[in-house]
């Protein structure tokens, strides 16, 4: 970038259209980076693969929620604490606690820490 460009930028200000154009072009980039890209239409194979992925994700979510519901029901019916239930699951005790809260399963013992607001 020559000294003459710096002089022109100084006269026009660094936020002027000229300055932006000059700085952009000297970096070997196109003058208009936000020009619309050529039209592209995804192939039928890509659309089909995306649909299959979306269907698989939806199926996964349905099964995950069903699994969490069964865990909550089992927790309610078994009388086990959340920690003991977690030992039989691929989840941590905190995740089992979150599942219990989500499905309204009360903990087996009352909290030992009281709120300072009480």
Q: How confident is the model at residue 103 (pLDDT cuts 50, 70, 90)?
A: very high
Domain range spanning residue 15? 1-32
- The rounded mean pLDDT for the chain is 81
Q: How confident is the model at residue 1 (pLDDT cuts 50, 70, 90)?
A: very low
Q: Rounded mean pLDDT of 97-113?
A: 87
Task: Name the 3-class secondary structure at 62.
Answer: helix
pLDDT value at residue 108: 81
Distance of CA 33 to the CA centre of its chain: 28
Domain contains 17:
yes
Model confidence pTM above 0.85? no
Domain contains 112:
no
Please, what sign has the CA dihedral across residues 30, 32, 38, 40? Answer: positive
Please state, in angstroms and as integers, the Cα–Cα distance from residue 27 to each residue in 7, 13, 31, 36, following that order.
18, 19, 10, 21
CA distance 87 to 70: 16
Domain count within the chain: 2
Q: Are residues 20 and 59 in the same domain?
A: no
pLDDT in tens, 27-72: 555 556 666 677 888 899 999 999 999 999 999 999 999 999 999 9
Polymer length in residues for the chain: 118
Sequential DSSP letters for 20-36:
HHHHHHHTT--S-TTSP
Report which of residues 13 and 99 the model is more confident about. Answer: 99
Distance of CA 97 to the CA centre of its chain: 23
């Amino acid at each position: 970038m020559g000294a003459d460009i710096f002089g022109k930028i100084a006269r026009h200000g660094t936020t002027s259209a000229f300055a932006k154009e000059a700085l952009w072009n000297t970096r070997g980039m196109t003058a208009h980076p936000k020009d619309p890209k050529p039209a592209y239409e995804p192939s039928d194979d890509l659309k089909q693969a995306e649909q299959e992925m979306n269907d698989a994700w939806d199926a996964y979510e349905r099964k995950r929620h069903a699994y969490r519901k069964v865990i909550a029901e089992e927790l309610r019916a078994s009388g086990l604490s959340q920690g003991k239930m977690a030992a039989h699951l691929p989840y941590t005790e905190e995740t089992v606690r979150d599942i219990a809260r989500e499905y309204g399963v009360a903990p087996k013992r009352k909290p030992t820490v009281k709120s300072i607001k009480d």
